[in-house]
Copies of this chain bind each other. A is one copy, B any other.
Amino acid sequence: MAKKSGWSGSVSEALRWRPGGLVQDIDTSGKPGFDGDKAAGEALLAERGERLSQLQELLYANGRAGDHRSVLLVLQGMDTAGKGGIVRHVIGMVDPQGVKTASFGKPTEEELAHDFLWRIHQQTPKGGQIGVFDRSHYEDVLVVRVHDLVPQSVWEPRYGIINSFEEDLAASGVTVVKAAMFVSLDEQKKRLQERLDRPDKYWKYNPADIDERGYWPKYQEAYQAMLDRTSVDGAPWHVIPADRKWFSRLAITELLIEALEGLGLDWPPADFDVEHEKARLADA
């Protein structure tokens, strides 16, 4: 892979979850693999956004030509980690026509009346699309585990079920890019404070977010299990330090670019006789 300005090598390599790693050791203000500062990162983001946009158009064009491949970005992270900002500032750089976003909040009654993957499966991308999950099936081994919303005998088997589900997606052409965004307790406090200080941010504030802070150690335990048990070869987790928004946006942009470049896409060939069509058009 060509070396990109500021990055020391493959970004997915630099951020990939390593077996034996500990969630409590994650440096949430780090920028692994990148040696530039904020200004450099922001300038690079704009430039790489162009590349992402080109690749997305290639993917879309191939999808239209019958290629079944797609890319699915799965975003997980505590409140205020910046998942919404990724959708706005990263996914916002590409043509919305080829994007399918879904966010998974508290399940509805109808959703709860089905297996936990039912609502998820409906939102997977089709050939040519970039799908984005703002929260995902992983909530069913995170918030659900932390708050004992179902017994352990139910959530425990879900790790394996999730791995099989993602294997099925991969087999049908979906490249799953998993990004776990980590903020520190302190940075989260600052961001919640901002939501309370600015009337234009009230709508983002939820009193329950404070309650969740009390469960931080239990969440760390649940994230640890998630990373250990669902970071597999075909669908590894990437750990995104998220105290610096500019870094998390830049990092996830590169993860998507690497995934798309990995597909080796080219413009689909004409499925018609070009010269014949030119002659027809001249007369039409």
Q: Mark A residues whose CB is within 8 Å of B.
A: 61-62, 64-65, 84, 87-88, 91-92, 94-97, 99, 101, 103, 132, 134, 189, 192-193, 196, 199-200, 202-205, 207, 210, 213-214, 267-270, 272, 274, 277-278, 280-281, 284
The smallest beta-carbon distance between A212 and chain B, in angstroms, is: 9
Chain A binding surface SS class: helix
Tell which of B65, B88, B199 touches A96, judged by Cβ atoms closer than 8 Å.
B88
Copies of the protein in its oligomer: 2
Beta-carbon contact of B277 and A207 below 8 Å: yes
Beta-carbon contact of A64 and B203 below 8 Å: yes
The smallest beta-carbon distance between A138 and chain B, in angstroms, is: 19
Tell which of B61, B84, B95, B192 touches A92, judged by Cβ atoms closer than 8 Å.
B95
A84 to B213 CA separation, bound complex (whole angstroms)? 44
Q: Which residue of B lies closest to A276 (CB)?
A: B207
A182 to B267 CA separation, bound complex (whole angstroms)? 29
Beta-carbon contact of A88 and B97 below 8 Å: yes
Residue numbers in B under 8 Å from A189 (CB-CB): 281, 284
Residue numbers in B under 8 Å from A203 (CB-CB): 61-62, 64-65, 267-268
Given contacts A87-B97, A210-B277, 8 further A-B contacts (CB under 8 A): A65-B203, A88-B96, A196-B281, A199-B269, A202-B268, A203-B268, A210-B280, A214-B284
A196 to B276 CA separation, bound complex (whole angstroms)? 10
Residue numbers in B under 8 Å from A213 (CB-CB): 284
Q: Which residue of B lies closest to A185 (CB)?
A: B284
